[in-house]
């Protein structure tokens, strides 16, 4: 009988190769990580713009309602091919046009329709949100705010709004993502 001695396979060689491969992947990742970072673009707002993070809580509350109202107004416009009146929006219980608890808390705004898809709300007292203007004619809602003296506007266009002290509420995150796509 022939006896041959066989060494047990502990897997030490394979373990060393796996450990070396993992170390190589980690080193390569660590070396190339700085080259795959997103670039932070500093967003500068124009003088007639205000960041959503800089508006007051009461204005933010009314802004949220106006964003939802924008969707409702756009849907109603798509169905009827005419802009809904403030009275119709109030009858349909579309916030912030309906006079409910939120309406009282936000400043009891008196809403008027100015032209196609423009709705202006002037506060009846100073304890809530400032004067707001919703431009629903655009696909994305444009909301302007005036915290100072609510002005009645004869002509509602961007130039008149800027001159009268109105500020367009913008989300600086949206602006930075727009800038990333244009370079």
Residue 142: pLDDT above 70? yes
In a domain, 88, yes or no: yes
In a domain, 122, yes or no: yes
Q: In what order do the strands lie in the sheet with 142-146?
A: 49-51, 167-170, 142-146, 131-135, 118-122, 110-113
In DSSP notation, 32-53 reads HGGGGPPPPPPP---TTEEEGG
In a domain, 125, yes or no: yes
In a domain, 13, yes or no: no
Domain of 140 in residue numbering reads as 50-181
Kindly list the distances between the CA atom of residue 13 and the CA atoms of 24, 25, 82, 140, 172, in Å, as whole numbers in the listed order. Answer: 17, 19, 77, 62, 55
What's the pLDDT tens digit per position in 31-46?
998 887 777 666 678 8
What's the pLDDT tens digit per position in 95-139?
888 888 777 777 788 888 888 888 988 888 777 788 888 998 888
**How is residue 25 annotated by DSSP?**
H
Q: How far apart are CA 41 and CA 179, in angstroms?
A: 7
In a domain, 71, yes or no: yes
Query: What average pLDDT does the segment 66-82 reach?
Result: 90
Q: In this structure, what are the phi and psi dihedrals at residue 145, rounded to the nearest 5 degrees?
A: -130, 145
Average pLDDT, the chain: 82
pLDDT at residue 155, as a whole number: 67
Q: In the structure, what pLDDT confidence band is assigned to residue 28 with cuts at 50, 70 and 90?
A: very high
In a domain, 45, yes or no: no
In a domain, 176, yes or no: yes
Q: Per the structure, how many domains does the chain have?
A: 1
Radius of gyration over alpha carbons of the chain, in Å?
29
In a domain, 153, yes or no: yes
CB 122 within 8 A of CB 131: yes
Q: How far apart are CA 74 and CA 83, in angstroms?
A: 8
pLDDT at residue 31, as a whole number: 92
The residue with tokens 């004067």 is 131
CB 136 within 8 A of CB 117: yes
């Amino acid at each position: 009988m022939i006896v041959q001695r066989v060494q047990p396979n502990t897997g030490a060689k394979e373990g060393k190769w796996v450990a070396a491969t993992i170390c190589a992947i980690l080193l390569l990742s660590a070396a190339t990580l700085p080259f795959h970072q997103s670039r932070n673009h500093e967003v500068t707002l124009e003088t007639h713009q205000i960041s959503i993070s800089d508006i007051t809580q009461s204005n933010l509350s009314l802004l949220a309602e106006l964003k939802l109202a924008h969707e409702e107004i756009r849907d109603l416009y798509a169905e009827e091919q005419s802009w809904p009146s403030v009275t119709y929006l109030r009858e349909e219980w579309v916030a912030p046009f309906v006079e409910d608890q939120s309406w009282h808390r936000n400043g009891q705004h008196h809403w008027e329709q100015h032209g196609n898809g423009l709705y202006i709300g002037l506060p009846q007292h100073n304890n809530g949100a400032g004067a707001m203007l919703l431009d629903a004619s655009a696909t994305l809602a444009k909301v302007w705010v005036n915290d100072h003296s609510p002005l009645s506007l004869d002509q509602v266009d961007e130039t008149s709004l800027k001159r009268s002290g109105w500020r367009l509420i913008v989300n600086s995150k949206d602006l930075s993502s727009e800038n990333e796509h244009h370079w």
